[in-house]
Amino acid sequence: MANEQNNFSEIIAHCKEYGYIFPSSEIYDGLSAVYDYGQNGAQLKKNIRDYWWKNMTQLHENIVGIDAAIFMHPLTWKASGHVDNFSDPMIDNKDSKKRYRVDHLIETHAEKLALEGKKEEEYALLKKMDALLSKDDFDGLKNLIEENKITCAISETSNWTDIRQFNLMFDTKLGSVSGEEDTIYLRPETAQGIFVNFLNVQKTGRMKIPFGIAQTGKAFRNEIVARQFIFRMREFEQMEMQFFVKPGTEMEWYNFWKAERLKWHESLGIPASKLRYHDHVKLAHYANAAVDIEFEFPFGFKELEGIHSRTDFDLKQHQQLSKKKLQYFDNDLKEDGKPIGNYIPYVVETSVGLDRLCLAVISNSYANEKWNKEDGTEDSRVVLRIPAKIAPYKLAILPLVKKDALPEIAKHILNECKESFHAFYEEKDSIGKRYRRMDAIGTPFCVTIDHQTKEDNTVTIRYRDTMLQERILLADVKKIIMEKIN
Least distance from C-beta 171 to ligand ATP, angstroms?
A: 17
Characterize 310-337 residue by residue with b for buried, 16 or more Cβ atoms within 10 angstroms of its Cβ, and e for exposed.
bbbbbbebbbeeeeeebbbebeeeeeee
Nearer to ligand ATP, 314 or 355 (CB): 355
Give the range of 117-125, 229-237, 331-339, 370-378 binding ligand ATP by CB under 6 A.
229-237
CA distance 88 to 177: 34
Nearer to ligand ATP, 43 or 238 (CB): 238
Rounded to a whole number, what is the largest CA-CA distance in the chain? Answer: 83
Cβ neighbour number for residue 209 with a 10 Å cutoff: 19
Nearer to ligand ATP, 152 or 352 (CB): 352
State yes or no: residue 352 binds ligand ATP (CB under 6 A).
yes
State yes or no: residue 265 binds ligand ATP (CB under 6 A).
no
Q: Are 231 and 357 in contact (CB under 8 A)?
A: no
Nearer to ligand ATP, 55 or 460 (CB): 55
Closest CA to 39 of 24, 53, 23, 20: 20
- In the set 198, 211, 236, 313, which binds ligand ATP (CB under 6 A)? 236
CA distance 221 to 189: 9
Give the range of 106-114, 173-181, 345-353, 457-465 binding ligand ATP by CB under 6 A.
345-353
Give the range of 233-241, 331-339, 366-374, 468-476 binding ligand ATP by CB under 6 A.
233-241
Least distance from C-beta 59 to ligand ATP, angstroms?
A: 22
- In the set 142, 258, 356, 434, which binds ligand ATP (CB under 6 A)? 356
> CA angle, 364 as apex, 235 and 420 as ends, to 5°?
80
Cβ neighbour number for residue 393 with a 10 Å cutoff: 21
State yes or no: residue 450 binds ligand ATP (CB under 6 A).
no
Nearer to ligand ATP, 189 or 439 (CB): 189
Least distance from C-beta 77 to ligand ATP, angstroms?
A: 14
Q: In this structure, is the dihedral angle defined by the CA atoms of residues 324, 329, 334 and 337, taken in order, positive or negative?
A: positive
Least distance from C-beta 9 to ligand ATP, angstroms?
A: 19
Residues 285-304 that bind ligand ATP (CB under 6 A): 303-304
Residues 188-217 that bind ligand ATP (CB under 6 A): 189
Least distance from C-beta 377 to ligand ATP, angstroms?
A: 43
- In the set 193, 306, 345, 387, which binds ligand ATP (CB under 6 A)? 306
State yes or no: residue 353 binds ligand ATP (CB under 6 A).
yes
Binding footprint of ligand ATP, residue count (CB under 6 A): 16
- In the set 238, 311, 365, 443, which binds ligand ATP (CB under 6 A)? 238
Residues 6+ apart with CB under 8 A from 402: 427
Q: Are 452 and 458 in contact (CB under 8 A)?
A: yes
Give the range of 77-85, 133-141, 352-360, 371-379 binding ligand ATP by CB under 6 A.
352-360
Residues 53-112 that bind ligand ATP (CB under 6 A): none
Closest CA to 270 of 418, 1, 33, 51: 51
Identity of residue 180: E
Nearer to ligand ATP, 109 or 221 (CB): 221
- CA atoms within 13 Å, Cβ hemisphere of 227: 11
Least distance from C-beta 235 to ligand ATP, angstroms?
A: 8
- In the set 351, 443, 448, 453, which binds ligand ATP (CB under 6 A)? 351
Least distance from C-beta 359 to ligand ATP, angstroms?
A: 9
Q: Are 373 and 424 in contact (CB under 8 A)?
A: no
Q: Are 40 and 20 in contact (CB under 8 A)?
A: yes
Burial class (CB in 10 A: 0-12, 13-18, 19+), 104: middle
Nearer to ligand ATP, 109 or 232 (CB): 232
- In the set 92, 250, 296, 305, which binds ligand ATP (CB under 6 A)? 305
Nearer to ligand ATP, 152 or 233 (CB): 233
CA distance 167 to 223: 9
CA distance 112 to 478: 51
Give the range of 72-80, 116-124, 192-200, 230-238 binding ligand ATP by CB under 6 A.
230-238
Q: Are 241 and 63 in contact (CB under 8 A)?
A: yes
- CA atoms within 13 Å, Cβ hemisphere of 356: 23
Q: Are 103 and 137 in contact (CB under 8 A)?
A: no
Closest CA to 55 of 44, 43, 65: 65
Q: Would you tell me which residues interact with ligand ATP (CB under 6 A)?
A: 189, 221, 223, 232-233, 236, 238, 303-306, 351-353, 355-356
